[in-house]
Amino acid sequence: MWATELSDVLFGTPQPIRVKSNLGVLKEDEVNIIVHGHEPVLSEMIVQAANDPELLALAGKVGAKRINISGICCTGNEILMRHGVPAAGNFLQQEPAIITSAVEAMVVDVQCLMPALTELAKCYHTQIITTSPKARIPGARHVAFSESAALASAKNIVKIAIENYPNRNRAKVFIPREETDFMAGFSVEAIVGALGGSLSPLLDAVKAGSIRGIAGVVGCNNPKTKQDFSHITLTEELIKRDILVVQTGCAAIACAKAGLLVPEAAGKAGSGLRAVCESLGIPPVLHMGSCVDISRILVTAAAAANALGVDISDLPLAGAAPEWMSEKAVSIGAYVVASGIFTVLGTIPPVLGSGNVAALLTSGAAGVVGAAFAVEPDPQAAARLIDEHLAAKRKALGLS
């Protein structure tokens, strides 16, 4: 929560913005730089450096039309929300991005970086550039990123990418044409703004049953499941049932690629949710940020609970991480459950060695924090679980 608040102080609070997603955002005649990882400080500076007149002139000298920045994982989410920088993909697209043979540099900071990227990059001209002392990878080029000389470090990195452009093997270049528009930037402030200054219209829609509840579908890709399948299936099932979906992290990029993060996707929602989305001009699935921005969802939930004079655990809310993978997803999931929100995981956490721990997480926690985890790999069944949970919460609040 603190990290999100401070990022907003430093770089600005996100506002709704139209962005493009998927590997089609890479450009054949431009220097392609992908930023990947989690730290907004680095990516903010790379975006600034890419507009530097001297570096643009240098790109022109090597025959490139422009410097094209795109993102992968949550570094990507940070800059797409604030600057409209396109998302080349989510976690499982870091290798395919290199295989396009059109990426001059993949600039990484920390976390969710596949250690084998450097081995793969040897088959292409892509430079893997590590920047954090905490995450150096054998075989990568290391350019230490220092906050005190942030822009100079970023310019140095962009220059390396530009100088690598002539090394691209054009015979190998293959950029898939897939490219999908989506809307992002739904910070709490932006949602309140879209509702006319308070959460009341949203709460009224929940009370009236036009929106039956709200589900956060979040988290990673997991190589144990078909990429994006569970995110997309679960999200489509939920909006059909008039459940507003809010998203962060790689889940949001998955649904962006599937075309669910545009106002036009309201046509796939149930009649109640569709009417609300059409009247506000918003998508039925709201992109609220990177995976560490889960606190934006919880701040909204707390404001709703305070407005109604109940606990968060009393609200018709649910969470889901259908393809979770990273250790950080574990702490994020624990934060959500500890805040009182029932959460469905799509893969089993490594806890089955202890019957006591498994029982605490899936049932005992409910008596302590008002919520527990469930595990359901089938996204259709997960949607039914969430539906039943929301119906029970509505009934307990006296809502139809």
Considering only residues 208 to 247 of the shown chain, the ones binding ligand SF4 according to CB under 6 A are 219-220
**112 near ligand SF4, rule: CB under 6 A:** yes
Q: How far is the CB of 114 from ligand SF4 (least distance, A)?
A: 10
Closer Cβ to ligand SF4, 256 or 291, answer by number: 291
Q: Evaluate whether 251 touches 216 at the Cβ level (below 8 Å).
A: no
Closer Cβ to ligand SF4, 34 or 305, answer by number: 34
Distance CA 325, CA 90 (A): 13
Spell out the residues 6+ positions from residue 19 whose beta carbon is closer than 8 angstroms to its own.
80, 84, 85, 86, 87, 181, 182, 183, 184, 256
Q: Residue 245 pairs with which residues in a beta bridge?
A: 215, 285
- Determine which residue in the list 250, 301, 320, 337 makes contact with ligand SF4, applying CB under 6 A: 250
Closer Cβ to ligand SF4, 250 or 374, answer by number: 250
How many residues of this chain bind ligand SF4 (CB under 6 A)? 14
Closest CA to 302 of 286, 321, 317: 317
Beta strands in the chain (DSSP E): 17-21, 31-37, 67-72, 87-89, 105-108, 127-130, 141-142, 180-184, 213-217, 243-247, 285-287, 317-321, 343-345, 373-375
What is residue 128's three-state secondary structure?
Answer: strand
- Determine which residue in the list 74, 157, 298, 361 makes contact with ligand SF4, applying CB under 6 A: 74
Q: With CB under 6 A as the contact rule, which of the stretches 26-34, 137-145, 197-205, 322-330 interacts with ligand SF4?
A: 322-330
Considering only residues 264 to 303 of the shown chain, the ones binding ligand SF4 according to CB under 6 A are 291
Residue 281 CB: number of other CB atoms within 10 A?
11
Closer Cβ to ligand SF4, 79 or 273, answer by number: 79
Q: With CB under 6 A as the contact rule, which of the stretches 61-69, 99-107, 323-331, 380-388 interacts with ligand SF4?
A: 323-331
x/- track of binding to ligand SF4 for residues 356-385 (CB under 6 A)? ------------------------------
Q: How far is the CB of 248 from ligand SF4 (least distance, A)?
A: 7
Give the C-alpha distances (Å, rounded to integers) separating 62 from 25, 68, 195, 252: 21, 14, 48, 36
- Determine which residue in the list 140, 286, 329, 374 makes contact with ligand SF4, applying CB under 6 A: 329
Whose tokens are 């459940």? That residue is 243
Q: With CB under 6 A as the contact rule, which of the stretches 136-144, 324-332, 360-368, 372-380 interacts with ligand SF4?
A: 324-332
Closer Cβ to ligand SF4, 36 or 155, answer by number: 36
- Determine which residue in the list 73, 79, 255, 301 makes contact with ligand SF4, applying CB under 6 A: 73
Q: How far is the CB of 397 from ligand SF4 (least distance, A)?
A: 31
Q: Evaluate whether 239 touches 270 at the Cβ level (below 8 Å).
A: yes
Considering only residues 8 to 47 of the shown chain, the ones binding ligand SF4 according to CB under 6 A are none
Q: How far is the CB of 219 from ligand SF4 (least distance, A)?
A: 5
Considering only residues 81 to 100 of the shown chain, the ones binding ligand SF4 according to CB under 6 A are 90-91
Q: How far is the CB of 74 from ligand SF4 (least distance, A)?
A: 4
Q: How far is the CB of 245 from ligand SF4 (least distance, A)?
A: 16
Distance CA 261, CA 252 (A): 8
Torsion over CA of 170, 161, 123 and 75, rounded to 10 degrees? -120
What is residue 329's three-state secondary structure?
Answer: helix
Closer Cβ to ligand SF4, 101 or 180, answer by number: 180
Beta strand pairing status for 317-321 and 213-217? Answer: parallel
Closer Cβ to ligand SF4, 250 or 282, answer by number: 250
- Find the helix or strand (DSSP H, E) in which 116 lies: none
Q: Residue 214 pairs with which residues in a beta bridge?
A: 244, 317
Q: How far is the CB of 238 from ligand SF4 (least distance, A)?
A: 18
Report residue 253 as tokens.
Answer: 């990029």
Query: Which residues in this chain contact ligand SF4 in the complex, by CB under 6 A?
Result: 73-74, 90-91, 112, 219-220, 249-250, 291, 325-326, 328-329
